[in-house]
Amino acid sequence: MRKGMKKNSGYSKAVFADSLVTSCEICNGLCALDIRLRGKKIIKVKGREEHAVSRGYICPKGLAVDEIVGAPDRIRTPLAKNRGGRWQEVTPAEAIKIIAERFNFIKAKYGAEALAVHVGRAGINKEFKYYLKRFCAAFGTPNFSTAESHCHLSKKMAGEITYGGLPVPDFAHSRCIVLWGSNPAASCPQLMRDIKQARGKGARLIVIDPREISTAKKSDLHLQIRPGTDGALALAMLHVLIKEKLFDKEFVEKWTIGFTELVALVDKFTPEKAESITWVPSEKIVEAARLYAGNSPACISIGIALELQTNGFQTARAISIMQAVCGNLDISGGVLFTPAPKLSSLKMEKDEAFSKPAVGQEKYPLFFKYNGNAQANMFARAILEGKPYPLKAMLLAGSNPVLTWPNAERVKKAFSSLDFLVVTENFMTETAKLADVVFPVGTFLSRDEFCDFSGLNGLPRLSLSPKIIDEPLMTDWEFCRNLAVEMGLEQFFPWRDEVEALNYRLEPLGINLDTLRHSLDHGYEYKKTEEKKYLKSGFQTESGKVEIYSKELERHGYDPLPVYHEPAESPVSTPELFREYPLILTSGARTLPYMHSRFHNIPSLRKLEPEPELEVHPHTASNLGIEDGELVLLESPRGRINIKVRITEDILPGVIAIPHGWDEANANVLTDDEALDPVSGFPPDRSYLGRIAPRCKFCGESEAGNNLPSPR
């Protein structure tokens, strides 16, 4: 290891009886784990009963951490491609030297902004994300981005613009829960305990989803909606609430602006009109509105499925407004505004002084305003077409864009044509295969990490997921700092190790890591829970009120009201394309065993879901003459994949659901990266058009081939 390259050693002192306590960092659930070690080997993992939030819950991914950490296919040595394009093992110091030299070369030749750094889902809510952003500022590039380019940020923007923040549903105390394009049983199962608790006390449950997911089967009302039309449904529900005077009149009068304009907007969105758009029977729309308004406090969970539509941002706005006019803001059982803990800023003055705007900043100014990052969905074009200027090098941390970004063929082509690509990872992914350097990093068990419960449960508590094993690998943070040191940027990274850096972040709270180590089961309560904070300080918007009519949107040339537009590809908006591609495709829904593209290589998880399967309704299958278990060729205007059919009544006729994250059948070969949401730049992964290729008239088989070029 080179001089100055620090490796944090030492274990957590958080030993309870015979187990080590930490928290799972795989998804947002942050479930507490009791882990027993023998020597360096994990011999037992279980959910920690004593933990105040997760209370013993653990999902199959958490149970599999021993397999993940000890997987035989973990990358354990950095790899660099030699001149012949072959992998060569190098030491960590050599790898960092190569990366530093190449990044500096790119900067000298093309300018600092030619480098982009992207942190994937594995780094969301993780400390190293903030340090990598700081690295970008120190290097001089504005092109830092995260998985928030296609997850979470769209609804966050809707919340910020409408009422100054994104509130969190308080499921446990609710009398009516709406899961709208949200499936916590698959995406964050820890939350199902709160939902079951509320149901046990009589709470009503409404599920809005094109698929009859397991939670829908147990709900009071399931609205099986045509993908991409949720905005029309929201406006029709608002129509009913207003027509039947089911809204909170006092709140609306005192705390909103633009209600009159809303009344005019929704006037024509009758449930009958919405039925023709959404395929949801009008009486169910009326019932949903009455259930929601009649069982206060009520909460709505806005899922990522709503964000991944061409009208996703305005849909999230319409639902945000519904929560407001029914008086469900910042109350127990409604949705809560819980501030995140105030930690030391890692921002530098340089953040404001880049010579060029970030990629996507000019096209999506509000996206940039509300997260300060580049829009990663624009990177492939910047690389291939030089728009708005060329990107020549990238660092991807915990991200696998070839499987997770829209239009995978373009993404692959773009990354293959970069001058230099670095990937930090645990495993050799489809994207890492394209890299010039693959740098292996430790798992979350080998580093201290904060657990912030404000964004998930609305609890103002900060806890710690302590390091419990020592892996002979750098953590992501160590990689970042060591690279900065090698590049002569040490002055911007004065912390000697990760513990010092985390302690620096905790300074404004007046605590340190030891405080958190001593409250692993309850976390540190940095604020008292308080409802209806707006009564004291108003809403954090320009007007101090809920902005149903948004002047900010108007100034940026967007519709100030939550209008509905058809999906960019649909039977209505593109009838000619629909004649060619007569199926509505929806892709990207999470499943319990996997985290997007991660962990398909873990045997116990693979056993739960061995292969990708297309969900097809029996009527659709019969119309197309396809059978259960058949391998078909699925095409969209972007590309085609081979995938096995599973016939199920759980999906709407005419709609096909495709799992994502599989390299064997990459759904993102089919998805679109051109018709993005005009405000957020999010891709429409949940609603686009496709077809199943006809069988060959001679042999009766579908055409063969995987990830073939575009049929158009």
Binding site for ligand SF4 (CB under 6 A): 24, 26-27, 29-31, 58-59, 61-62, 189-190
Minimum separation from the CB atom of position 547 to ligand SF4 (A): 34
Minimum separation from the CB atom of position 65 to ligand SF4 (A): 8
Residues 6+ apart with CB under 8 A from 662: 403, 597, 600, 611, 612
| Cis before 406 (ω within 30) | no
Minimum separation from the CB atom of position 24 to ligand SF4 (A): 3
Minimum separation from the CB atom of position 582 to ligand SF4 (A): 38
Helix axes 230-243, 271-278, angle to 10 degrees: 170
DSSP state at residue 602: -
Minimum separation from the CB atom of position 324 to ligand SF4 (A): 30
| Cis before 388 (ω within 30) | yes
**Closer of 56 and 653 to ligand SF4 (Cβ):** 56
CA-nearest of 592, 460, 458 to 172 is 458
Residue closest to ligand SF4 when measured from CB atoms: 62
Minimum separation from the CB atom of position 30 to ligand SF4 (A): 5
Minimum separation from the CB atom of position 60 to ligand SF4 (A): 7
**Closer of 527 and 606 to ligand SF4 (Cβ):** 606
Residue 39: how many other CB atoms lie within 10 Å: 5
Minimum separation from the CB atom of position 520 to ligand SF4 (A): 15
**Closer of 26 and 553 to ligand SF4 (Cβ):** 26
CA dihedral 562, 565, 568, 573 (to 10 degrees): 180
Q: Residue by residue, what is the 3-state secondary structure of 323-376?
A: HHHCCCECCCCCEECCCCCCCCCCCCHHHHCCCCCCCCCCCCHHHHHHHCCCCH
Residue 369: how many other CB atoms lie within 10 Å: 14
- 95-to-2, 435, 483 alpha-carbon distances in Å: 11, 12, 10
Tell me the C-alpha distance between 111 and 212, whole Å.
Answer: 51
**Closer of 67 and 635 to ligand SF4 (Cβ):** 67
**Closer of 30 and 98 to ligand SF4 (Cβ):** 30
Q: Is 2 helix (H, G, I), strand (E, B) or coil?
A: coil
Residue 5: how many other CB atoms lie within 10 Å: 17
- The number of helices, as runs of H, and strands, as runs of E, in the chain is 28, 28
**Closer of 27 and 322 to ligand SF4 (Cβ):** 27
**Closer of 27 and 138 to ligand SF4 (Cβ):** 27
The beta-strand segments (E) located in 411-545 are 420-425, 437-440, 449-452, 461-465, 524-525
β pairing state of 204-208 and 221-223: parallel
**Closer of 31 and 520 to ligand SF4 (Cβ):** 31
**Closer of 58 and 336 to ligand SF4 (Cβ):** 58
**Closer of 58 and 402 to ligand SF4 (Cβ):** 58
CA-nearest of 328, 332, 325, 302 to 244 is 325
Helix axes 498-506, 476-486, angle to 10 degrees: 100
Please give the backbone phi and psi of residue 337, each rounded to the nearest 5 degrees, phi first. Answer: -95, 105
Minimum separation from the CB atom of position 152 to ligand SF4 (A): 16
Minimum separation from the CB atom of position 506 to ligand SF4 (A): 22
